[in-house]
């Protein structure tokens, strides 16, 4: 029957949250995953090719996990649509064997929704067995009318059987769909919805009466663990320790790969410069335009990957849901939803993945508030700018017990950003996004060791997002900026050719506005390229002050001493404060606009961040001078 | 056996009860539907496991074999009969 299989057979992977869907996706697909925009929806889904036992290739599409097809979050919203899509050839439905009632109810709902061929992965069947549950799969298959394969995705058990079952199901083409409960109404009333849900549960109960030969215990192990993790004192200590270790690793561990990346880009730059036949202008475009911009951003990849590997680990382990439990009340004090914790934490690495993870929050109002304050979280792109300015303007004297002032200032900058994020959240909730706090409803999943491959796959996905941003927005803007600082050409023999450029004109244009906060036209000129990305500021300043880049390791030190001579202390501090608040990353704005589907909120984001930056810098400049 | 009708939000860790009914609230319809879908159904046994430190809010409850977190304000929509 291999002819019957379309080589591009599309198989949807559907499942309830915490059922091990991602782990199953990873063991089924050996080849590289792609980030795909499925069926025109804005939610990115991941897909990858895999082989059926007969050798034909199919594409597995990983759809967001959902408790039901009736959408409650945006993420779940795409599921029902995607399952109705014409291109879809079959489904693999993953359910959690430790939650039999919920699993069967979900299966009934999905199988009732569409007549696509389907197989069921009855996942975590080993844990269900350990807790004492025994299933009669023959009865289950007969009742549901689909093949059911007990699997343990993290241990790669039951996978060949699942593949074989899928191949058979596809070969038989259309599944005989028992309409369990007759035709659906287009817009049912609440009473009708309730009775439908109830009838699914009743049916599930009847099925389980025959199929669940022995009922297991609930997860007492996780409950014991929770007595510590959710403890009034220990709970918060554990949370603080986890966050502390996370940040330590993010900064200390990332140092070496970051240095390696810098060295690599330098080497490539020198290698290009080495070729005599390339005209000087083209060399400058390649090295100063493209390479500097891309290298300056890609250098943050290690930090982002380290933070996300820890976040993914903690999420898979089951800790993130507990953190939400511990923090929901306190985040509620400033009008935030407990679920905002994860997006805000991610934003310490980079605001873009932070904003992308906002969509797990149910209400639009909470999504807007969280997205609006994310740019205030100290992302890693601010670090080189902070480092430069601190080294130039903050004396490194010891304050107490070996704690140095420079380190304290760095910490204070993080704290100020975070405090203002929460403050602005409260203000937004108070004045612009009024209304009751939407309900909180999350599951505390069983604790389990995350599978390494699943964490790695998650990292690859995030790295892809990041690299795509570098390859498009950052690369494009770096070229525009290079053009602006390079043209028009200055007359021969000028000491500072950049003063004749378009960038200089822009700097002069903005000077009257920037003067009250202590910035001259040169800083204004350096601020122009930082709209692409903050991290560009360091290289922009070195271009503006014509710091010789023959010896790159000393470049930052040289720049530091140059600006120390050129600027007053007040100007330096004012710029430092500016960097905390100013909206200086186009990709963040673009992502916010896309995720919120609103230009209005994006504009408001730009306006309020500029207003905040200007005000704070003005106050700083006044106080310091 | 005595029958005492309580709101779920009034229960403390260790308490067990059976779900009796739901108080309908117009702007929380979707939320109630979702509760229904994940197994908060009349007659089902529910056990309060933990409450968040200090604030005692939110609380975690076990229903069937799963553990969910909800705030007391919303838990108050669920009327329960305490098992004694």
Domain boundaries, chain A: 2-214, 241-432
pLDDT of residue A104: 93
**Structural domains present in chain B:** 5-82 (2.30.30.90)
**Nearest residue of A to residue B76, measured between CA atoms:** A439
Chains A, B: CB pairs < 8 Å: 110
pLDDT of residue A564: 87
Nearest residue to B80 via CA among B13, B33, B22: B22
Distance CA A447, CA A450 (A): 9
Residues A483-515 have pLDDT tens digits of 887 888 777 777 677 778 888 888 888 889 888
Could you give the percent of chain A with pLDDT greater than 70? 91
A206 pLDDT more than 80: yes
A179 pLDDT more than 60: no
Average pLDDT over residues A342-348: 89
pLDDT of residue A2: 40
Mean pLDDT of chain B: 88
Which of A174-183, A279-288, A553-562 ranks highest by mean pLDDT? Answer: A279-288
CB atoms within 10 A of CB A406: 18
Distance CA A266, CA A556 (A): 14
Distance CA A106, CA A66 (A): 9
Nearest-CA distance A445 → chain B (Å):
7
Mean pLDDT of chain A: 83
Three-state secondary structure string covering chain B: CCCCEEEHHHCCCCCEEEEEEECCCHHHHHHHHHHHHCCCCCCCEEEEEEECCCCCCCEEEEECCEEEEECHHHHCCEEEEECC
A201 with B31: Cβ contact below 8 A: no
Contact yes or no for A417/A383 (Cβ under 8 A): no
Tokens of A163: 């593949």
Identify which of B31, B39, B57 has the shortest CB distance to residue A439. B31
Res. B10 pLDDT band, cuts 50 70 90: very high
CATH topology of domain A2-214: Rossmann fold (3.40.50)
pLDDT of residue A75: 67
Tokens 């064997």 -> residue: A97
Residues B30-68 have pLDDT tens digits of 888 889 888 899 999 999 999 988 888 899 999 988 999
Residues A460-487 have pLDDT tens digits of 877 887 788 778 777 887 788 788 878 8
Nearest residue to A119 via CA among A163, A77, A73: A163
DSSP assigned state of A62? E
Contact yes or no for A485/A510 (Cβ under 8 A): no
What are the chain A neighbours of B53 within 8 Å (beta carbons)? 230-233, 235-236, 326
A577 pLDDT more than 90: yes
**Nearest residue of A to residue B48, measured between CA atoms:** A223
Interface of A with B (CB under 8 A): 67-68, 70, 72, 98-102, 105, 190, 193-194, 197-198, 201, 216, 218-219, 222-223, 226-227, 230-233, 235-236, 321, 324-326, 328-330, 338, 436, 438-444
pLDDT of residue A208: 92
Specify which residues A398 forms β-bridges with.
Answer: A404
């Amino acid at each position: 029957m291999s002819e019957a299989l379309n080589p591009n057979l599309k198989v949807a992977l559907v499942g309830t949250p915490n059922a091990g869907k991602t782990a199953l996706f990873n063991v089924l697909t050996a080849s590289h995953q792609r980030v795909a925009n499925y069926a025109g929806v804005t939610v990115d889904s991941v897909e990858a090719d895999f082989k059926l036992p007969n050798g034909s290739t199919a594409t597995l599409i990983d759809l967001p996990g959902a408790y039901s097809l009736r959408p409650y979050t945006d993420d779940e919203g795409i599921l029902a649509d995607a399952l109705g899509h014409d291109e879809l050839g079959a489904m693999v439905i993953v359910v959690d064997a430790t939650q039999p009632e919920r699993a069967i109810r979900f299966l009934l709902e999905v199988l009732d929704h569409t007549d696509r061929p389907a197989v069921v992965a009855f996942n975590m069947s080993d844990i269900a067995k350990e807790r004492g549950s025994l299933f009669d799969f023959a009865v289950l298959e007969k009742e549901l009318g689909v093949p059911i394969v007990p699997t343990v995705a993290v241990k790669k058990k039951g996978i060949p059987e699942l593949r074989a079952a899928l191949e058979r199901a596809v070969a038989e083409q259309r599944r005989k769909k028992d309409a369990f409960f007759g035709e659906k109404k287009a817009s049912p009333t609440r009473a009708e919805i309730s009775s439908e849900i109830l009838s699914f549960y009743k049916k599930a109960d009847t099925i389980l009466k025959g199929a669940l030969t022995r009922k297991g215990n609930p997860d007492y192990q996780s409950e014991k663990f929770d007595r510590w993790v959710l403890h009034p004192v220990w709970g918060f200590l554990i949370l603080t320790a986890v966050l502390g270790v996370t940040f330590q690793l993010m900064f200390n561990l990332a140092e070496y790969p970051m240095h390696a990346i810098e060295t690599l880009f330098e080497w490539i730059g020198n290698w290009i410069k080495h070729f005599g036949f390339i005209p000087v202008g083209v060399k400058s475009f390649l090295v100063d335009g493209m390479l500097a911009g891309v290298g300056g951003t890609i250098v943050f990849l290690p930090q982002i990957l380290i933070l996300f590997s820890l976040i993914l680990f903690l999420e898979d382990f089951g800790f993130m849901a507990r953190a939400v439990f511990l923090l929901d009340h306190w985040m509620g004090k400033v009008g935030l939803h407990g679920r905002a914790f994860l997006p805000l934490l991610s934003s310490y690495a980079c605001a873009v993945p932070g904003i992308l993870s906002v969509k797990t929050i149910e209400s639009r109002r909470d999504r807007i508030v969280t997205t609006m304050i994310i740019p205030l979280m100290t992302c890693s792109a601010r670090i080189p700018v902070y480092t430069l300015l601190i080294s130039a303007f903050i004396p490194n004297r010891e304050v107490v017990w070996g704690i140095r002032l420079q380190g304290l200032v760095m910490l204070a900058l993080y704290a100020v950003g975070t405090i203002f994020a929460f403050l602005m959240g409260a203000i937004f909730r108070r004045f612009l996004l009024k209304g009751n706090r939407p309900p909180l409803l999350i599951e505390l999943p069983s604790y389990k060791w995350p599978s390494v491959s699943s964490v790695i796959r998650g990292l690859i996905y995030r790295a892809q997002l990041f690299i795509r941003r570098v390859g498009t927005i950052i690369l494009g803007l770096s070229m525009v900026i290079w053009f602006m600082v390079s043209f028009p050409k200055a007359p021969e023999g000028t000491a500072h050719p950049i003063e004749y450029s378009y960038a200089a004109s822009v700097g002069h244009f903005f000077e009257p506005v920037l003067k009250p906060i202590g910035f001259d036209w040169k800083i204004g000129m350096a601020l122009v390229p930082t709209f692409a990305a903050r991290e560009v500021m360091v290289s922009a300043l070195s271009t503006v002050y014509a710091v010789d880049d023959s010896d790159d390791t000393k470049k930052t030190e040289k720049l530091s001493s140059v600006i120390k001579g050129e600027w007053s202390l007040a100007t330096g501090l004012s710029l430092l404060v500016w960097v905390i608040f100013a909206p200086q990353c186009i990709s963040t704005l673009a992502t916010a606009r896309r995720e919120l589907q609103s230009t209005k909120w994006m504009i408001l984001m730009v306006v309020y961040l500029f207003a905040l930056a200007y005000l704070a810098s003005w106050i700083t400049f006044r106080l310091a001078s | 056996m005595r029958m005492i009708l309580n709101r779920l939000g009034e229960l403390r860790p260790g308490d067990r009860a059976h779900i009796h009914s739901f108080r309908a609230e117009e702007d929380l319809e979707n939320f109630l539907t979702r509760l229904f879908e994940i197994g908060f159904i009349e007659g089902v046994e529910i056990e309060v496991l933990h409450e968040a430190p200090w604030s005692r809010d939110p609380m975690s409850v076990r229903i069937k074999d799963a553990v969910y977190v909800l705030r007391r304000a919303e838990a108050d929509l669920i009327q329960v009969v305490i098992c004694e």
